[in-house]
Amino acid sequence: MARYIATRIVYMAITLFIIASVTFFLMKLMPGTPLSSADRLSESQQQIVLEQYGLDKPVPLQYVDYMLGLVQGNLGISFQFDNREVTEILGNRIGPSLQLGIQALFIGSILGALLGLVAAIFHNGILDFGSTLLAVIGTSIPSFIFAGLLQYFLGVQWQLFPVATWGTFAHTIMPTIALLIFPMAICARFMRTEMLEVLNKDYITTARAKGVGWTAVIFKHGLRNALIPLITILGPLAVSLLTGTLVIEQIFAVPGIGEQFVTAVTTNDYPMIMGTTLFFSFLFVLIILIIDILYGIIDPRIRLDGGK
Amino acid sequence: MSNETILDVKNLSVSFKTPNGEVQAVRDVSFSVGKGETLAIVGESGSGKSVTTKALMGLLPAPKGYIKNGNILYGNEDFAKLSDKQMTKYRGKDFAMIFQDPMTSLNPTMKVGTQVMEGLRMHRGMNKEEAKKEAVRLLELVRIPDAEARMNQYPHQFSGGMRQRVVIAIALACDPKVLIADEPTTALDVTIQAQILDIMKDIQEEFETSIIFITHDLGVVANVADRVAVMYAGKIVEIGSVDELFYNPKHPYTWGLLGSMPTVDQREEELFAIPGTPPDLLHPPKGDAFAPRNRYALKIDYEEQPPMFQVSDTHYAATWLLHENSPDVQPPASVQQRIDEMNGKWEAGK
Ligand SMILES: Nc1ncnc2c1ncn2[C@@H]1O[C@H](COP(=O)(O)OP(=O)(O)OP(=O)(O)O)[C@@H](O)[C@H]1O
Ligand SMILES: [Mg+2]
């Protein structure tokens, strides 16, 4: 297992290196420069600024500089905020985004799995219908609509939670709910299908033929097998949350990375864009790794292939 | 083998509700199984063999499949009348089952040992330690080498033949009175097949287990069975001892089966094939379901179902040919020759 993880980490590093390179050159192709809106500076003043940030050097050299910095954990200095390190800005912003993302993914997938399980157990019954309806609503209506509804009802009308901004745990509840509806709906639909499929498998008949009761069959033999495919979709779901936070953070005025990213793009703040992209990519690759490890824990067929 | 009847199936009918209507998969089937006896059920694909055994185990896919009529008498109980919950008491304990495909019949995410121990803990009230010991013993009984270490492995670490042994060990866990084997060797290669059959025979001798053995392979039937039931389109068309069925088959469908049985030294064109296809069980025909494929069919075959005519104490066949007013029809020469050959060989092998 340890060796398996070590190899995976090496692959992760290679993936990140490629992503960093591609983003770097793509960014150079973006129209405008960080000084596009700084008309008031004279040519020579602009030249000084560019030199200061190393933007006067040829692109390949800039690339080498950047990558060397990256290896040392240095993401450069932001253009928009006077001389603040990108890592520091990200560090300040990471907390709220991460908290929202993790809460939404965790609660969403567990609720979704339960919902799907109930639907499968009461297959074709009223509970199945209800949970399917919920899942359809959750996947077809975008999260910002839920955000608006939550703000209006829970926030303004009933005043249960603060409408926006950040601070206490209560502040996280509404954005978390808005975010988790999509992963919950997807997990519910997935779980229902998987569970129904698993319950038709031969080994379920074997278990029943042993005299295992229906409920025990579902939980002892069905659940684990139905969860395996569910774990594979957690990765893509986590990624969808990364982008989901961009919108939700704006609506609830959450001081997270998403909000920062939008400003960085509109102002051509190269180091900030690079930093955020790399950070998102890092999260993404990390999520995939975690999911692979989870997969190995739950599915013995995978666990043993990579040695102990 | 004693004459004590352990399982008595009477007029069993099983149907499936489908969007197109009721599929009558098993129609009015009766048979009994004696203690320590092996009853083989043969018949072509779709004739209702598996559905019959699922009904016995109470494992029909509810609510789609249901017992429409009949009794499954075991001791003082009628399994046909019991709920799923009441059946759990008997499943795995009195009745156990071995399935066709060992590659899919074990839970891939559960240790093999745990799967064997499950029944022991449920039906025999053993604690973990006792169950573990007993599971090792069972795995040894089905000749799995290094059983103790194998307990902690997962099914994917076993070959097909080894998995089937595990399935048998699971089935044997609680000394079942009736063991139902639905094509237990079909998915295995010939040498492994022979080993599995050997194990089953030994176990039967030791524990006087009654076995219901479903197979397509008449060679296997001759090898393991005491009696044979031939099924066609959801009905038993002929039933009798192995000798009676092989020496003196009465039903034209049985002739066809015997005639189409491949032998070692034969060229392909010699195979006797039964023409046509089985009937649609959504709308079973009024008369004998085999009539359209039967070159000896009489007029009455299309109008009325033949009853079970008695040939001997133990031998019955459902064909109008056995009626006293019917013309005297013998099996076709090619089939008769095949029967003689086979009997010769089988006798020689005895
Ligand atoms: N779940 C089901 N829904 C509808 N019809 C079914 C179902 N299961 C079985 N049947 C019907 O019951 C009939 C008998 O099927 P069964 O599986 O018992 O055949 P079999 O004799 O075991 O064949 P094989 O040799 O291929 O295993 C088939 O014609 C099939 O159409
Ligand atoms: Mg079958």
User: What is the per-residue pLDDT across A56-114, written as a single tens digit (0 to 9) for each?
Assistant: 788 888 888 888 888 887 877 777 766 788 888 888 888 888 888 889 999 999 999 99
- Write down the pLDDT at residue B3: 72
- Are residues B85 and A213, on separate chains, in Cβ contact within 8 Å? yes
- Write down the pLDDT at residue A273: 83
Give the pLDDT mean for A287-298. Answer: 81
pLDDT band at residue A307 under the 50/70/90 scheme: very low
Span B314-341, pLDDT tens digits: 999 998 888 888 788 888 777 787 777 7
For the ranges A121-130, A207-216, B176-185, the lowest mean pLDDT is seen at: A121-130
pLDDT band at residue A205 under the 50/70/90 scheme: very high
Cβ of B45 less than 6 Å from ligand 1: yes
Q: Using CA atoms, how far apart are residues B69 and B10, in angstroms rounded to an integer? A: 9
Which residue would you say has higher pLDDT here, B42 or A86? B42
Q: How many residues does chain A have?
A: 308
- Facing B99 at nearest CB: one of A206, A220, A301: A206
Cβ–Cβ contacts within 10 Å for residue A113, how many?
22
Distance of CA A229 to the CA centre of its chain: 19
Please state whether beta strands B235-241 and B309-310 pair in parallel, antiparallel, or not at all (unpaired).
Answer: unpaired
Cβ of B61 less than 6 Å from ligand 1: yes
- Are residues A203 and B106, on separate chains, in Cβ contact within 8 Å? yes
Task: Please report the ipTM that was assigned to this predicted complex.
Answer: 0.86
- Write down the pLDDT at residue B180: 96
The C-alpha of A229 sits at a distance from chain B's nearest C-alpha, in angstroms, of 13
- Write down the pLDDT at residue B218: 86
The verdict on B79 touching A (C-beta cutoff 8 Å) is no
Span B101-139, pLDDT tens digits: 999 999 999 999 999 999 999 999 999 999 999 999 999
Strand (E) or helix (H) holding B57: helix B49-57
Span B278-319, pLDDT tens digits: 888 888 888 888 888 887 788 888 888 899 999 999 999 998
Contact A240, A186 (CB under 8 A): no
Q: Which of B14, B41, B47, B257 to mutate to test the pocket of ligand 1 (most atoms within 8 A of CB)?
A: B47
For the ranges A150-154, A286-290, B142-146, B259-263, the lowest mean pLDDT is seen at: B259-263
Among B239, B243, B188, B179, CA closest to B209: B179
Cβ of B331 less than 6 Å from ligand 1: no
Residue B91 DSSP label = B
Give the pLDDT mean for A200-228. Answer: 92
Residues 6+ apart with CB under 8 A from B157: A304
Distances (CA, A) of A265 to A34, A278, B75: 10, 14, 80
Question: Omega before B307 cis (within 30°)?
Answer: no
Cα radius of gyration rounded to whole Å, chain B: 21
Q: In sequence order, what DSSP letters do the residues of B177-238 get, joined into one string?
A: SEEEEESTTTTS-HHHHHHHHHHHHHHHHHH--EEEEE-S-HHHHHHH-SEEEEEETTEEEE
Mean model confidence pLDDT for chain B: 88
Structural domains of chain A in order of their starting residue, each with its CATH number: 2-71 (no CATH), 87-298 (1.10.3720.10)
Q: Residue A306 above 50 pLDDT?
A: no
Cβ–Cβ contacts within 10 Å for residue B125, how many?
9
Please state whether beta strands B95-98 and B178-182 pair in parallel, antiparallel, or not at all (unpaired).
Answer: parallel
Which residue would you say has higher pLDDT here, A46 or A254? A254
Q: Residue A282 above 80 pLDDT?
A: yes
Domain spans of chain B?
Answer: 103-175, 250-349
- Write down the pLDDT at residue A308: 36
Residue B323 DSSP label = S
| Closest ligand by atom to B53 CA | 1
Structure tokens at A110: 């567990």
- Write down the pLDDT at residue B134: 95
Q: Residue B348 above 90 pLDDT?
A: no
Among A182, A95, A195, CA closest to A135: A182
Distance B47 CA to ligand 2 centre (A): 8
- Are residues B104 and A201, on separate chains, in Cβ contact within 8 Å? yes
The verdict on B57 touching A (C-beta cutoff 8 Å) is yes
Distances (CA, A) of B221 to A110, A272, B38, B43, B334: 52, 77, 10, 12, 21
Distances (CA, A) of B101 to A255, B105, B162: 58, 6, 12
Among A41, A66, A46, A64, CA closest to A56: A46
pTM of the model: 0.81
Give the pLDDT mean for A2-18. Answer: 85
- Facing B109 at nearest CB: one of A205, A209, A299: A299
Q: Decide: residue B206, CB within 10 A, 0-12 exposed, 13-18 middle, 19+ buried.
A: exposed
Q: Using CA atoms, how far apart are residues B126 and B116, in angstroms rounded to an integer? A: 12
Ligand 1: nearest atom to the Cα of B48? 18
Residue of A nearest to B104 (CA): A202
Q: Using CA atoms, how far apart are residues B52 and B48, in angstroms rounded to an integer? A: 6
Which residue would you say has higher pLDDT here, B72 or A260? B72
Residue nearest to atom 28 of ligand 1 (CA): B46
